[in-house]
Each structure stands twice: as structure tokens, then as C-alpha cells.
Copies of this chain bind each other. A is one copy, B any other.
């Protein structure tokens, strides 16, 4: 790709970004859009927009940027939760890393690369190929490569130390978040599965006997889980019908008052029809509820008097048979994924294996479209496939748009289909909470992105050949070193199109905006009913981290990518702060458990860079540098293992010291008996009537 093509792409996207930002700053001030751009504020009752018209409403302003940057980390922690803070810290970490990388890359590596072969004419930059700025421009065996070698070592050290301090910082915040928060039901509760069936005793009695015997001092109460999936379907139906009914009723009453509601004029006659249907459904539900009374599942939420008591039950194996009395920390009550409990130990285990196989199959299958997209970046291949396009493709502007813009756009659209599939796969694995499903889907998406966005793009040739590379580890460095630099221009344009445009469309929220417009048009709008969208950590984190991977691997290969990345992360920092403050609301709190994923992924990126460096120094006929790079991945992995030992245990569960301290503080400060009475009913299945649930509760 020529520099001019890159500049075209940058130009288009800069234009788009400015357009989107301008639109945003105007649209957000319109009172009718408040549910699109500030649903969180509306929910919290903080929205202070007046309906008065003034000129300022039509002018683009940048006040939102200032407001987004205002809150301190501690304010974010207390208002938005730990996950939001971790999310923001990923940007802070990335900005730090790529600020350093940009300085080294642009002021040291780029000049070295550009002057790699000989003193060419310095002018006519636009006609230079992007290869002139990459390491491939440096002569084989040139001593200039030692500069790259040093840069890799220094960069790795900087990233590792930044990672260490970030890890430490987040851990401190995690502990202080525990200390400052009020007692939460999930801290006192344990989910027990695999309750053995005892003849003569119900599951509820078995659970009670067991915990009364083995945790006599701290046991508080329990709630046995019921099989309610069918009931839930009925309840959803009833809820929908009820909504329709109320709407139809209000429609028939206020038909005269409101023009808009009667727009399609089809309600009113249906009131009786709906009412009958609803009555029938309610009968059904009552029948099911009574039937379900007996359908207990061998799992229960067991609550304890102290956090330490719950931690003891979680951390020590309970029954002699490790497949029975399995304990795990309970999720937040609203985070429980109720359909989980159909799975026994063996069934959960098998479904895990099945999902793994399905995931691998998906990875392999999805290569096909990626290969097709790659064709667009290589125009001459496209011409051979579709000869009639030759005339159009020879026009310079068309070819520049196609090579610079279209491939990554198609690629991006195609990637949109993946997250729902991954969430579906993860939900089949038998996780007990939505947050665990999201975390697992996030990891799957990361692997998918690395495989399909990086490796499949980088390694050309048939799919079979690609698999072969990974069966011959010795050749991996050389193959990667030959293939990765060649794709530099594709990834630079990917950062600009997918990254920048992605961010600006994130802030504009085009789909919800159109949706809100359409619903208003058709009179279905109901301000009280709108839902605050939950923070899409699972979809966003892999995207953000993937750009980090690109930056780290291309750091010494093609430093031209770095300033674009830095711009991406700075924009992202502002935009996501704004979105977290105004738009999204976390449905559940994972307690910063996304951070270890970020850590592992950064280490993986570093090691990948080292492997490419080993191969590249080999290809560039500098075998000494190649050998001297080998200790670097080993040291990095050792560092990672050390970090995991040092920090990871605290991400999995809280230590005794914290728990006991917090328990004691609670006893002094809180009204615990009130909390206990809430705790006892916190894990009631929403599908069961209160009477049914309370049967399981032992005071």
C-alpha cells in the first residue's frame, strides 16, 4: 500500500470521526434523545435537561469531553464499580505503553528503517510504499538491527513494569472496594451443587443437616433451587400479555386525547381477547407452580453469618466424594443464571468438552470468509476473479478506497456476528452466573480474534498449510517473521477504519438512535419502559486488547502504526468514560476479574513479538541477535508466572485477613439482623411464589 492510500483512508476516517462527534454533541442536547445518550442518568434521576429551546442546543460543543474527564478514579470506583474502573485502567495502561512505544518508534526506529537501504530522494513521500518505513527496508545483516534488538528489550521491560504496577494498583482498589462497600448477599452465600440424595430426606433436609453438622457456628439458612425453566417461559408470556393489555386498555380510554397512540388504531377491540388469554395463562402458572413444589434440584444457595464462614465452605472440599457437595462462591442474586442447574457434575464436565470442540470447529470454519476478505486487499486477485471490474478498479480513487477501506469494513461487519455465538457457547458450559458466562465468552472472543483477525490474516496460503505451521514449532518464528511484516499496511488501515470509526459509532449509538426514532414515529414510545443497556465488557475488551496486540507485535516491525494506536486509545479513553458515566449501567459486578485476562493477553502479545523477532533476526542474517532474543520470552513468561502467584489468588477470593476484618467492622457498624433477614430471601427464584421459597428457609 502506498502512503497516499493510507492518507486517503486516514482522511476519510478523520472526516467521519469529526462528523460523528459533531452530530453527537448536537444530538445529545435534544431532550427527545435523552434515553439514547443518557439512559443511566435518567435512571438515576440525574438528567437535568430542560425542554426549553435555545440556540446552544443546535451548536456543537465539547463540554461533554470535560465532564467525561472530571471524575477521579475513586469516584468511578464508588459510583460505577470495580469493573468500570478496570475497563478505564486498560485504556490508561495502553496509553502509557503506546506513548513510550510511539516515542521510541517514531523518533528512533522509523528514521533507522527509512534510511535502511540507501540515501534515496527524501521527497515525494506520498508515492513511497509503506514498506519504506518498516524493518523490511533495513539491509540484511545490517548492524542497525541492533537498535531494534535493544528497543525490544527495553520495550518489554517497560511493559512488564507497567503491568506490574497496574496489577498492584487494581488489587489495592479491589481490597478497598470490599472494605468500603456495604454487606452484599453474595459475600455471605455459597452455591452447593451435587447434593447427594438421601432416602427418606428431602434435599432441603439433607442440606440443612449437613451444614448444621459441619458448619454449626456460621450456618444461617438455605434455599433449594427448583427446576423452573418451563415456568419462566409462561411468566414471560404473561408479562408480555399484561403489557399489551394495559396498553390496549389505556388506548381505548385515551383514544380521544392522544393522536399518536391511535396512529394505527387497532387496539381497544382486543382488550377482552387479551384478558381471556391472560386468565388462562395465570391458571397454567398456578398449576405449574404447585407441580414444581416437588421438583427440587440437588443444588442450594446456603447463606452464612459471616463472610469468613462462607469462604471456609467455598475453599475446603466438603464431601468425601469430590463430585458431591461441590461449593462455589455464589453470584450476585440478580446475576444468577437460573437455567444452569440441570447439569450434574459429569454433565457439566461433558458439556465443557463439547463446547470446546465446537469452539475449535468454529475457529477453523471462520477462516473461509477471512480469506475472501483478504482478496480485496490484493486487487489483482480480485481482477482475476471478476474481470469485468477491471475498468472500475483501475480508477485511482476507487482502488484506494477498496484497498484502504473496504476490506477492514467488511471484516468488521463480519466480526459482529461472532460475540452472540460465543455467548451462546459459554452459556452452554454450565456456568451459574451471567458474569461468568461473559468472562468465558470474553476469553473465547479473544482467542477467536487473535486466530481469525491476526493469524488467518497474516498467514497466506491454504488453511491446511496454516495448521501445519503449528505442528512444527521450530518453523513458526521464521514463517511469522516472513508473513507478519507484509501485513503491516492492512493492520494500519484496520486501526484507522475499524478502531477510529468504531469509537465514533460507539459514541453516536446509531442503532439505538434509529430505533428510538422509529418507535416514536409509530407511537410505541414509552419513556418509563426503556432499559439501561448493560456495559458490553465482553464484546469491547477483546476489541481493545486486539489493538494492543497489533501495537506490540508491530512495534519494531512497522512503527508507523503506533501514533494511530495512540490516537485510538486517547479517543477511547474519553469516549468510554463518557459512555460509562452516561449510557451504560453494570448489571453485575465481577470484582475486577477481567484484569487477569488483560494481563495474560499482554504477556501473550509480548511473547508473540519475541517469537517474530527471533525469526526476523534469523531472516535478516543476524543469528547472534536471534539467539540473544530467545531468553526474552522465557523471562517474560517467568515474570508472568511470578505475577500470577503474587496477585492472582487475591482476584479469585478474598484473604482471611480482609474477610475477618470486614466481618468485625460490620458487626460494629451495621445492623446485621436486618441484613440477615434480607439475606435469607435474597436468592429466591423469581419464578416461584414467596410461600414456596420460604418453605426452604430455616430461621
Chain B contacts of A642 at CB under 8 A?
349
CB-contacts of A309-340 with B (<8 A): 311-313, 315-320, 322-323, 325
Chain B contacts of A325 at CB under 8 A?
655, 657
Q: Is A63 an interface residue when CB atoms closer than 8 A count as contact?
A: no
- Of the listed stretches A6-14, A130-138, A471-479, A613-621, chain B binds A471-479
Chain B contacts of A660 at CB under 8 A?
213-214
Q: Are B474's CB and A468's CB within 8 A? A: yes
What are 26 sample pairs from A and B whose C-beta atoms fall under 8 A apart?
Answer: A214-B656, A215-B656, A312-B316, A313-B656, A315-B315, A316-B656, A317-B650, A317-B653, A317-B656, A318-B657, A319-B655, A319-B657, A320-B650, A320-B657, A322-B650, A323-B645, A325-B655, A349-B642, A349-B645, A353-B638, A468-B474, A471-B472, A471-B473, A472-B472, A472-B473, A473-B473
Question: How many angstroms from the CA of A539 to the CA of B650 in the assembled complex?
Answer: 39
Q: Is A647 an interface residue when CB atoms closer than 8 A count as contact?
A: yes
Chain B contacts of A311 at CB under 8 A?
316
Contact A320 B175, CB 8 Å, known A214-B656, A642-B349, A645-B349: yes
Chain B contacts of A313 at CB under 8 A?
656
Question: How many angstroms from the CA of A315 to the CA of B312 in the assembled complex?
Answer: 8
Question: How many angstroms from the CA of A658 to the CA of B353 in the assembled complex?
Answer: 31
Q: Are A474's CB and B474's CB within 8 A? A: no
Q: Are B655's CB and A316's CB within 8 A? A: yes
Question: How many angstroms from the CA of A650 to the CA of B349 in the assembled complex?
Answer: 19
Q: Are A316's CB and B315's CB within 8 A? A: yes
Contact A322 B472, CB 8 Å, known A214-B657, A315-B316, A316-B315: no
12 new A-B contacts at CB < 8 Å, known A312-B316, A317-B649: A214-B660, A217-B217, A316-B656, A317-B655, A320-B655, A320-B658, A322-B648, A322-B655, A323-B645, A325-B655, A349-B645, A473-B473
Chain B contacts of A474 at CB under 8 A?
468, 471-472
Expressed in whole angstroms, the minimum distance between the Cβ of A636 and any Cβ of chain B is: 14
Q: Is A230 an interface residue when CB atoms closer than 8 A count as contact?
A: no
Q: What 0/1 pattern do residues 630 to 662 of A give for CB contact below 8 A with B? A: 000000001000100111111001011110100
Chain B contacts of A315 at CB under 8 A?
315-316
CB-contacts of A166-195 with B (<8 A): 175
Question: How many angstroms from the CA of A645 to the CA of B324 in the assembled complex?
Answer: 12
Query: Which residue on chain B has the smallest CB distance to residue A474?
Result: B471
Chain B contacts of A471 at CB under 8 A?
472-474
Expressed in whole angstroms, the minimum distance between the Cβ of A38 and any Cβ of chain B is: 38
Question: How many angstroms from the CA of A322 to the CA of B215 in the assembled complex?
Answer: 26
A175, A320, A473 — most chain B CB neighbours (10 Å): A320
Expressed in whole angstroms, the minimum distance between the Cβ of A503 and any Cβ of chain B is: 37
Question: How many angstroms from the CA of A214 to the CA of B214 in the assembled complex?
Answer: 20
Expressed in whole angstroms, the minimum distance between the Cβ of A17 and any Cβ of chain B is: 44
